[in-house]
Amino acid sequence: MSHPIAPHRSRSARISALAVLLTGVHLLALVLAIPGRATTGGGPPDSLVTDAVRAHGGAGTLAVVVARQHTRATEGSIRAIEARAARRAAYGSDNGPVSDRPFPTASMVKLFMAEDILTRARDGSIELTARESDLLAAMIRRSDDPAASLLWVRFDGSQMVRDVAARYDLAGTRPPPAEIPGQWGQAVTTAQDLARFLALLPVVAHPQDASTLLSWMRGTTPQAADGFDQRFGLFGTLPGDPAVKQGWMCCVDGQRHLHSVAVLGSRVVVLLSEVPRSADYGSARRALTAAGAAIAAGFETPGDR
């Protein structure tokens, strides 16, 4: 995955302006509640997280977040909008401090890259060729690493990660360390940050770009471009037609990583895991799939809001 990073092209002015815009989201009638912590009275999100952690067992470290995806508010009073935001904030749970712990992103960084490239193409700061559009789709659907490497270099991947982190206020997300340039899989994020990104995607990104990214995720192929079986975790266990993204890599600091995220109806689920290098992918896959199956068993009506 090692590639030289393209020269830095600052977009700080655009990001700052967007940050100011998002500060006034209530005036613009956008629902931007943060995915919440576990509700004090219990309920479905808490039980989903508890069941997932129990099913994963002692295979390694697992971070779980369950949240609701937000929608643009096109009508209604400010009071109604705020009430709707509060309901979404209340529907959220995690398994404590580990959900804020940094993990190497592996292929999860491809979600950030796709959002940023689509955003920049829409605002006219870059022009996408048909070939680059195809690479974007392949990077998400087939988790195509060569496609990601080409786009990382072409559009300054480290800056893409920084800009997405600024747009979505992702406190634990950052590009790979400077001493390992081009190794995009060693960007860092948290389960909370990924949940926030997916929850806020429809209201921060342009609606068409959010729809495009989610449609690519719904088109995830059973086999990745490198032949890896992507049917683990939440992919293949959730009912309906979920939008999923899978990630895997070995090894950072002697750890093997396996990640799975999904959007199903209004629900967002994030599973980030790591096991010692001595554990093989087979055992890691089984553990994460058991966690995904536990989440699926607890779902009631996938499309409910």
User: Does residue 4 fall inside a structural domain?
Assistant: no
**Beta carbons within 10 angstroms of residue 182's beta carbon:** 16
User: Does residue 204 fall inside a structural domain?
Assistant: yes
* Residue 45 banded pLDDT, cuts 50, 70, 90: confident
Q: Is the pLDDT of residue 291 over 70?
A: yes
* Residue 44 banded pLDDT, cuts 50, 70, 90: low
User: Does residue 305 fall inside a structural domain?
Assistant: no
Q: Give me the amino acid identity at 193.
A: D
User: Does residue 2 fall inside a structural domain?
Assistant: no
Range of the domain at 103: 12-298
Q: Is 119 exposed, middle or buried (0-12, 13-18, 19+ CB in 10 A)?
A: buried
User: Does residue 303 fall inside a structural domain?
Assistant: no
* Least-confidence region, from 20-24, 98-102, 119-123, 204-208: 20-24
Q: Is the pLDDT of residue 19 over 90?
A: no
Q: Give every CB contact of residue 129 below 8 A, 6+ residues apart in sequence.
A: none
Q: Is the pLDDT of residue 24 over 90?
A: no
User: Does residue 148 fall inside a structural domain?
Assistant: yes
User: Does residue 44 fall inside a structural domain?
Assistant: yes
Q: Is the pLDDT of residue 11 over 60?
A: no
Least Cα distance to 263 among 67, 119, 94, 73 occurs for 67
Question: What is the residue whose two structure tokens read 């990660």?
Answer: 161
Whichever domain contains 113, its CATH number is: 3.40.710.10
Could you give the number of structural domains in the chain?
Answer: 1
User: Does residue 17 fall inside a structural domain?
Assistant: yes
Least Cα distance to 241 among 261, 264, 267 occurs for 264
